[in-house]
Structure 1
Amino acid sequence: MSEPPTLIIVRGNSGSGKTTTAREVRRRYGRGCALIEQDHLRRVLLREHGGLGDDAVAPAFLTGTARAALEAGYHVILEGILHTREYATHLRHLIESHPGPVSCHYLDVSFEETLRRHRNRAEPIPVTAETMHDWYTERDLLGIPGEVVIPESAGLDEAVTTVLHGSGLAARAALTPCPTRCRRCQEKAGEPGNP
């Protein structure tokens, strides 16, 4: 039996670089890795506001989506602010129930640096510094064994390398589970240059 897929959690405050890091990790890894972005699922799919406490659907929805992708054989990168006050119980349950490797990373960036990075984005989100301050939680760690803190002094390449190697994904072959199920992908796999 092959090794179960890897679960990677990348967390941090708004503007910490977590989305850019997670996207680059997946790009460098290749096919077979699902990227689950908190902002997309919560804001776009559910159109749910943050801070709803026990009434929020997003925490169970995100971890349920991650679980479904893992069970289908995909490595999963789950990224977002994922505040412990709303997500810790769901994330810990996901981690404890996953039979494969788990790697948690927290981008620890000061509030001043998150503002600077936000201002330098190609497309900054339309929020004020005051709103970002309301969202900001200093060093909001999950407190699980092996959680890796990536300091703000780390550049993108260092953060991506830390996640790829710390999770073990750098040593795993990139291959979507699709070829084992899909005739079209099986046919493509036989063509030169198609994984």
Structure 2
Amino acid sequence: MPCEQDYLRRVVLREHGSNSMPTVAPGFIMTAARAALEAGYHVVLEGILHTGQYGGPLRDLIAEHAGLSFTYWLDVSFDETVRRHRRRPEPIPVTAEDMRAWYTPLDLLGVAGEQVIDEASGFEDTVSTILHHSRLAEAAALTPCPRLCLRCAEKRSPGTAPAGGAAPENAGRAG
């Protein structure tokens, strides 16, 4: 399950990155990620997660999670950051000067196993590296629906019960 920091912070919470105001985003995002992990989802938490705001909550989330955790830092220079921003389908309206104020080189989380991916790695290579290193490329979906949902169990094999459940009596009904 993708947990996109920028979407949750800017769209859902309408927070716009000011350091002068208290922010709900770090706690909110960690709560969303934690809830998804506890429900059995694989979670990819991504974004510009400055350690000043997100470091403590991220380290706590990693420490509390009983499963495997993988962390990656995309080591991208400021100039390349600006170029990539300008190529976004819907870039947010900020100047390079605004971005320079936010840019923090090598803002590593400092946890065991953290991987640094160089800016020379293209989008497809970066995604492939993360999927294979984290073993998500081979991982079966662990979302509750395919395992527990009566409707999905009925779609898979009519008359069969989901894991840990009774035979689906109401399968196919809107719920």
Q: Could you state the TM-score of these two structures normalised by the residue count of structure 2?
A: 0.84
Aligned ranges for residues 146-165 of structure 1 at < 5 Å? 146-165=113-132
2:37 match: 70
Matched-pair contact (CA < 8 Å) for 1:84–1:142: yes
- Counterpart amino acid of 2:61? L
Matched-pair contact (CA < 8 Å) for 1:53–1:86: no
CA change 1:106–1:58 in 2 (3 A) is same
Q: Could you state the TM-score of these two structures normalised by the residue count of structure 1?
A: 0.76
Q: Which structure 1 residue ranges, 5 or more long, are not aligned? A: 1-33
1:115 aligns with 2:105: no
**Within 2, Cα distance between the matches of 1:117 and 1:129?**
11
- Counterpart amino acid of 1:90? P
2:25 match: 58
**Within 1, Cα distance between the matches of 2:46 and 2:129?**
15
CA change 1:128–1:54 in 2 (3 A) is closer
Matched-pair contact (CA < 8 Å) for 1:51–1:86: no
- Counterpart amino acid of 1:36? C
Q: How many residues align?
A: 158
1:143 match: 110
2:16 match: 49
**Within 2, Cα distance between the matches of 1:53 and 1:70?**
31
Q: Which structure 2 residue ranges, 5 or more long, are not aligned? A: 159-175
2:54 is aligned, of 76, 87, 110, to 87
Q: Secondary structure at the match of 2:43?
A: strand
Structure having the larger proportion of residues in helix: 1
1:172 match: 139
Structure having the larger proportion of residues in strand: 1
Structure number with the bigger relative contact order (C-alpha 8 A, sep ≥ 6) is 1
2:68 match: 101
Identical aligned residues as a percent: 59
Q: Secondary structure at the match of 1:112?
A: helix
CA change 1:87–1:129 in 2 (3 A) is same
Shift of 1:119: 2.0
Report Cα offsets for 1:64-99 as digits up to 9, x if no partner: 110000010100000110100001000000000000
